[in-house]
Amino acid sequence: MEKIVIQGGTSLMGSLEISGSKNASLPILAAMLLCEGKTTVANLPHLQDVTTSLELLGSLGVELSIDENRYVEADTRTIHSLTTPSELVRKMRASILVLGPMLSRFGEAKVSFPGGCAIGSRPVDLHIAGMESLGAEIVIEDGFIKASRRERLRGATINLPFPSVGATENIIMAASLAEGTTRINNSALEPEIIDLVDCLNAWGANIRGAGKSTIVIEGVQKMNGGFFRVMSDRIETATFLAAAAATGGKIRTRNVDPTNISAVLEKLRKAGGDLTLGADWIELDMRGKRPKAVDFKTGPYPDFPTDMQAQFTVVNSLAIGTAYITETIFENRLMQVQELRRMGAKIALNDNEAVVTGVSKLTGTRVMASDLRASAALVIAGVAAEGETIIEEIHHVDRGYECFEEKLHQLGAKITRTSS
C-alpha cells in the first residue's frame, strides 16, 4: 500500500510547468472513436485516468502508439468490439464518454455503469436521455447501458436541466455524426468543453457556440481526424497556487491560461495574495504571511470550481478569521474535513456547508485520502503543518496530478512516497 510522508513547515517557492488537462484529455480520447482516419493527440498528462482511457480504447481494438514525446496516435480501423470491459469502466467515471461516439459512428454500444471517486451520486440519466433524444434505443440490463440505432442518429433540440459537463460532451460527440442540426440548451460552459469542440472541429466536425449556454452541432457524414494539442490543466494550476497560499510561499506556474481560473484568482487576491499574470503564466506571492479567510460557494463554471473546494478549505484552515464554504455540486465532497480536524483544523459541518475558523498552525499526523481532490488537499495540509504527516490511500492523487510529489519537491517540499 503506497503512502506519502511529508516533513512539514515548508513555504513553497519556485517555478513549475503545468501539465496537460486531465478533464480535457478524457473526452478528447473518447472522440478518437468518431474518426475514420488516424488521430494524434499531444500534451496528454501521464495520469492513471489517461492510462485507463487508453486501455479502454485498446480493449475495443483501437490501434494505439505513443512516441517519446508522449504523442498518442490512434487508428480505429482495427476496432473489433463495441463492449467496454467492466473492470476498466469501474475505475473511472469518464468511461461513459465512449457511449456517444460508439453509438453515433458504429450504431451500437454496450457500456458498463462507470465508477470513480466516491464523492456523491453522479447519475448518467442525462447522458441516456440525450442519446434517446437523438433517436437511440436504450436498454439497461445486467449493469450495462445497451444503446443502438436503427438508422443514423438525427438532430434534436435538447434542454439540459443542469449544465452537466459529461452530458454536454457526450451529446456533442454523438451529434457530430448525426443527421441534421442538434441544439443543446443550458450546456456546460467549462473551458474543457471549448477544448473538445476545437478538437472536433479540427477533425472535421461542424460545431459552434462552445463556451455559451447554447451549442449548435451541424452533423457531418464523417470525420477524418488529424492532430490536436490538449489545453493545460486549470485545476492543477489552481491547486499549486492554493498550496503556495496555504504555506505563505511564492510560486510561478507556467504553461497556463489565467482566464480559465478567474474565480479562484479572485479568492486568492481576497486571501491576501499578490498576483501577477502573464499571457501564459501566473505568479502568486504571499510574502510569508498567513492568508485571510475567504467565503466561497461552488458552482458550475464560471463559478468557483467544486474541484478546488477541498484545497481551498485547507487555505481557510490556516487563515486569519472565519470562512463559510458551501458545496453545491456533490453531496459527499466535504469528506476531507474529518481528516483535517485530526491535524488541528477547526471546521464545523452542517450538511453541505462548512464553517472554517482559521488556526495559526496544523500538526502532522496520520490521515487517509478519500478521493482525488481530498488527496491533494491533505498533501497541501501536510506541507504546511508542523511535524510529520503520513497520508494513506494516496493512489487517488495519481488519477489527476502528474508527478505531484516531484513537483512539490521542486518547490521545496520535503515529501516522499513509500510502499509498506
CA distance 66 to 15: 28
117 in active site = yes
CA distance 191 to 234: 9
Rounded (5°) CA angle 355-360-364: 90
What sign does the CA torsion over 253, 387, 288, 245 have?
A: positive
* Strands (DSSP E) found in 97-208: 108-112, 137-141, 144-148, 157-159, 181-185, 207-208
CA 348 to chain centre: 27
Q: What is the length of the chain?
A: 420
CA distance 366 to 400: 22
CA distance 299 to 207: 26
Say whether 361 sits in a helix, a strand or coil: coil
Identified catalytic residue from 35, 117, 199, 403: 117
Please give the single-letter amino acid code of residue 6: I
How do strand 108-112 and strand 137-141 relate by DSSP bridges?
Answer: unpaired
CA distance 376 to 240: 9
Distance linking the first and last C-alpha atoms of the chain:
5
Say whether 233 sits in a helix, a strand or coil: coil
Catalytic residue ranges: 117
